[in-house]
Amino acid sequence: MNKIERNQLCSCGSGKKYKNCCGKTESLALFRKKILEREIHQIKNKLFTNFIFNWSNEIPGILVEFLGDSIKEVPELEKRIKNMVVEFLDENENADLLLLIECVLFDYFTPEGETFFQKFLKNEKKNLRNLVVEVLSQWGDSYISIYEVEEICYEEKIIILKDILLNTRSKVNLMEIPITEIEVGNLFIARLLSKGEVYETLGFILLSGILKQELIDRITELKNQKIIGVQDNDWRKFLKKYGYEVIISIAILDNQYDFFGGAIEDQFDWINDKQKEVARLIRINLIEDYPNEDVVIAIALWYRYCELKKPKINKVETIIAAIEYVIALKLGRFVTQKEIALKYGVSPNSISSRYKEFMEIVEGCAVDPVGQRISLERNLLAISKSLKKIWIDDPAEINQLINENFGKINSFAKANISLRDKAQNLLYDAWETTGKKRVELAKKALEIYPDSPDAYVILAQETATTFEEALYLYRKGVEAGERVFGKRYFEENKGHFWGLIETRPYMRAKLGLAETFEFLNYKNEAIKHYKEMLELNPNDNQGVRYNLLTLLLEENRFTEAKNLLEKYNNDISAEFKYNKCVLEYKLSGASNITKKLFKEAIAYNPFVPDYLLGVKQLPLFPPLYISPGGEDEAIYYVTKNLHLWLETPNLFELLEKIVK
């Protein structure tokens, strides 16, 4: 049948143009379908994030208990699984492990007789549309199975999978990897989660089809052992209860696919085999003494170094020694270049030279743990104390003060300073380290001076296992700051906080408190704290206006949202530009002003519409870095604000028209 053009007469015989008749209905149906799929994708990400955050301590033990006898066939697998799950829960992406963690999420029954997924859905139901709940309810019956890739639709980013155990077919919309990495005939091991007419996954394993028959034979044998007297074709019941056996079978059958702790270097696209061989040697030399995630960082550092420097590889031992020295310092291990040099039989000078080159790359990618330059803050506080100057906000003045008074910084640190300043110096040390050392320094600072806001911020970030615990600690930090400064200080210095260096720990605690209120859905409390922060620091060095704008739009507080946008009318971020469109549409519909604002927003960041309209799918994890006007900024904006658009579906239609 020939495709009907938009301006042709509709084939239904109404006498209207297709675009004003059946075409309009089909377009609306397509939009509704896209909106449903986007809502489901958002819920999927929320489900996984909440599960990991709230149950991270219990997951390794539950998983080993759940796998039971299945892991005894692989030596030391129990210990390795526990270690790898712990590393994964510390934000180490691993789609393979994700499948095992899914088993706990969807298939493990808690003492209350519910799965973790069922608990989540019960709590979320009241906030979801009936259609969304209907689709999500199907996830409770989902299972891990073995699929074969039959067809790849590159334009739609869809693959057609055949379940080789149940002989069914499904359309899957891939989100996590480029579709070009998949070939027809590949085996695709996954749990398919419905989002209407298509499915998506949390994690999956992609294998060569060469294992197909052997894998089927092993799983069939296991099924017959586990479910006695059941018809051979009753695969669903087996896979729902023992789907993890598929994953374990892969570990046992395929030695080249070293699922539990395999070749990290295979994940990188090396320029030549020599570079890859060095990466292999890095792994072999570091794997016994360093956590797996740090071995990954070491190899990633070598890969980045090869990309940028294209080095001539002479003495491999020097390269490995220098990289180990970088990783040891990152972990706070007190080793010397001489000790590392003796280990690898090289000279300390040769390590020093390579170390500097590697550190240039590390420092070029580094992100400060609290979003501010802590070392600079420490120096500014020292200078402000020694000069009795408490307000330093002008960048030119900052540079001048540092240049003129650099020698006073160390003398100030050694002076007979107050207990409060001694505690804060410890906390600056804490911010510049990681892990247990950071927590120890924070606790020591509280022993010296109990009203230290930064100590509570660190404990909230590093030790809290629930959002309620984090809320308690952030509140303690805010209360500590209020006691230190007193009511009069706030009244006299309102508008100059953050420029007042000594106020920054308090502002960090207040930001943590507001964000935690927001996550726990105490929106009015969050709005109150964000507003107070902008009153204290109108320059908004912490970027709280973005969270505040989103909350005001969620709560339909349009006058306040408009006032906020006008107050920061020089803000050119994608978040302000696109949310200004959302606000204007809510106030005046598809007016000329709304259309003009859309065009301005698209001109600034043209990547946002593709993610809003579903042309490109959002990744499972948001970007670590954001560049103004870049695609990473677009991903960040849509991830954070998509729900605002879903509440106003006609916005998508207007955006699509403007883009076209």
pLDDT digits (tens, 9 = 90+) for 406-436: 444 444 444 447 899 899 999 988 888 877 8
Q: How confident is the model at residue 76 (pLDDT cuts 50, 70, 90)?
A: very low
Q: What are the pLDDT digits (tens) for 238-293?
A: 888 877 777 766 655 443 334 344 456 766 778 888 898 898 888 888 876 776 66
Instruction: Tell me the average pLDDT of the chain.
Output: 79
**538 and 482 in a common domain:** yes
Q: Which of 149, 114, 129 is nearest to 42 (CA)?
A: 129
- With a pLDDT cut of 70, the percent of the chain lying above it is 75
Show the CA angle centred on residue 62, arms to residues 56 and 66, nearest 5°.
145
- Mean pLDDT check: name the lowest of 175-184, 510-519, 636-645: 175-184
Q: Which stretches of 114-234 are DSSP H helices?
A: 116-124, 130-137, 212-226
Considering 234, 256, 278, which residue would you say is the last residue of a domain? Answer: 256
Note whether 244 and 315 are same-domain residues.
no
Domain region containing 476: 441-659
Domain identity same for 168 and 297: no
Q: Are 104 and 59 in contact (CB under 8 A)?
A: yes
Q: For residue 492, tell me if it sits in a domain.
A: yes
Report pLDDT digits (tens) over 169-178.
Answer: 999 987 655 6
Asked if residue 185 and residue 286 are part of one domain, the reply reads no
Strand pairing class (187-191; 168-173): unpaired
Q: Please tell me whether residues 332 and 206 are part of one structural domain.
A: no
Question: How much is the average pLDDT of 578-595?
Answer: 93
Q: Do the domain assignments include residue 242? A: yes
75-93 burial, b for 16+ CB within 10 Å, e for fewer?
eebeebbeebbbbbbeebe
Considering the domain architecture, whether residues 250 and 274 belong to the same structural domain is answered as: no
Which of 85, 98, 92 is closest to 200 using CA atoms? 98
Mean pLDDT, residues 585-595 taken together: 92
The verdict on 214 and 324 lying in the same domain is no
Let me know whether 152 and 214 are in one domain. yes
Domain boundary among 256, 283, 311: 256
Contacts of 314 (CB under 8 A, 6+ apart): none
What are the C-alpha distances in Å from 195 to residues 39, 123, 147, 172, 182?
9, 19, 18, 10, 22
Question: Which tokens belong to 453?
Answer: 């806001």
Q: Is 135 part of any domain?
A: yes
> Are 615 and 471 within one domain?
yes
pLDDT-derived band at 219, boundaries 50, 70, 90 = confident
- The residue that leads in pLDDT, 291 or 644, is 644
Same domain, 208 and 273: no
How distant is the alpha carbon of residue 517 from its chain centre?
A: 20
Domain count, the chain: 3
323 lies in some domain = yes
Nearest to 468 by CA among 505, 528, 522: 522
Q: Is the pLDDT of residue 442 over 80?
A: yes
* Cα–Cα distance, 171 to 150 (Å, whole number): 10
| Rounded CA separation 180/40 (Å) | 24
> Torsions phi, psi of 560, nearest 5?
-65, -40
pLDDT at 150: 92
Rounded to a whole number of angstroms, the distance between the first and last alpha carbons of the chain is 26
Does some domain include residue 277?
A: yes
Task: Please report whether residue 425 resides in a domain.
Answer: no
Question: In this structure, are 316 and 453 located in the same domain?
Answer: no
Q: Domain ends where: 205, 224, 256? A: 256
* Residues 335 and 445 occupy one common structural domain: no
Q: CB–CB of 67/244 below 8 Å?
A: yes
